[in-house]
């Protein structure tokens, strides 16, 4: 764990110019609870404060990237934030969405290394990353409609921009699960690797990006974010 960063549910490792952020609730398939959301927020801010870091990798400990909202802990966003300083569904959802948006707005590129389940909120945070790599055993779904709610952490805005509006609507309207091969075919992910090679490939790509001019890479990310994110806050 990075010195000065202490969090049980998120680990932060920095090696040279590469930061690795690890969602660390493997016993719950990295389901998103209050502590994990707060850990993701703190990790993003810690990475941004490290001037030497040029690329970040986001992944999950154990068998999953993230299985989405921890419905065993809470049945509503308001309940999840009961111990925090604000109340209400709007404020809760805005907080969750803003945490994921930190990864899109980080000045450095973020690579999602997706292992196993990437469901609901897990898929939404992956969509906030610049590049998505997946293990062959990865599965993807935005199943909110199955539970009578909508994807409210950026999925309705970011997914159409990644896979196109028709495929995005189909995935969101049905809540269907797809495997890594289908995710690659529709361009939800950029590369698929055997599970044992996923992190090596993520580090290899991160190192290649880190070897380029950091000023040029960061300026390019800012320019592409402006082009891709127009109107994102409207949804």
Catalytic residue among 13, 41, 48, 124: 124
Q: Determine the longest span between alpha carbons in the chain, in angstroms.
A: 46
**Tokens 């389940």 identify what position?**
117
Name the nearest CA neighbour of 179 among 216, 132, 141, 133. Answer: 141
- Based on the residue annotation, tell me whether 13 is a catalytic residue of this protein: no
Residue 147 has which token pair?
């539970």
Catalytic residue among 35, 50, 91, 144: 144
- Based on the residue annotation, tell me whether 73 is a catalytic residue of this protein: no
CA 30 to chain centre: 12
For the chain, the helix, strand and coil percentages under 3-state DSSP, each to the nearest 5: 45, 20, 35
Name the nearest CA neighbour of 193 among 13, 184, 20. Answer: 184
Question: Are 57 and 21 a contacting pair, CB within 8 Å?
Answer: yes
Q: How far apart are CA 127 and CA 131, in angstroms?
A: 8
Question: Are 162 and 104 a contacting pair, CB within 8 Å?
Answer: no
For the annotated catalytic residues, the residue numbers are 124, 144
């Amino acid at each position: 764990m990075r010195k000065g960063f202490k969090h049980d549910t998120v680990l932060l490792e920095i090696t040279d110019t590469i930061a690795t952020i690890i969602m660390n609730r493997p016993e719950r398939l990295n389901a998103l609870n209050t502590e994990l959301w707060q850990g993701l927020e703190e990790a993003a801010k810690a990475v941004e404060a490290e001037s030497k870091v040029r690329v970040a990798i986001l992944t999950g400990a154990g068998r999953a990237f993230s299985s989405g909202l921890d419905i065993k802990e809470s049945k509503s966003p308001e309940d999840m934030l009961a111990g925090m300083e604000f109340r209400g569904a709007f404020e809760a959802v805005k907080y969750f969405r803003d945490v994921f948006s930190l990864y899109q707005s980080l000045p450095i590129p973020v690579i999602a290394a997706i292992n196993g389940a990437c469901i609901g909120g897990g898929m939404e945070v992956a969509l906030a990353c610049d590049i998505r790599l997946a293990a062959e055993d990865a599965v993807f779904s935005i199943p909110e409609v199955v539970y009578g709610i909508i994807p409210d952490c950026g999925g309705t805005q970011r997914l159409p921009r990644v896979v196109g509006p028709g495929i995005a609507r189909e995935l969101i309207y049905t809540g269907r699960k797809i495997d890594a091969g289908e995710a690659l075919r529709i361009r939800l992910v950029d590369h698929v690797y055997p599970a044992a090679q996923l992190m090596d490939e993520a580090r290899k790509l991160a190192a290649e990006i880190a070897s380029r001019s950091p000023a040029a890479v960061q300026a390019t990310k800012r320019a592409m974010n402006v082009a891709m994110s127009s109107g994102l806050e409207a949804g």
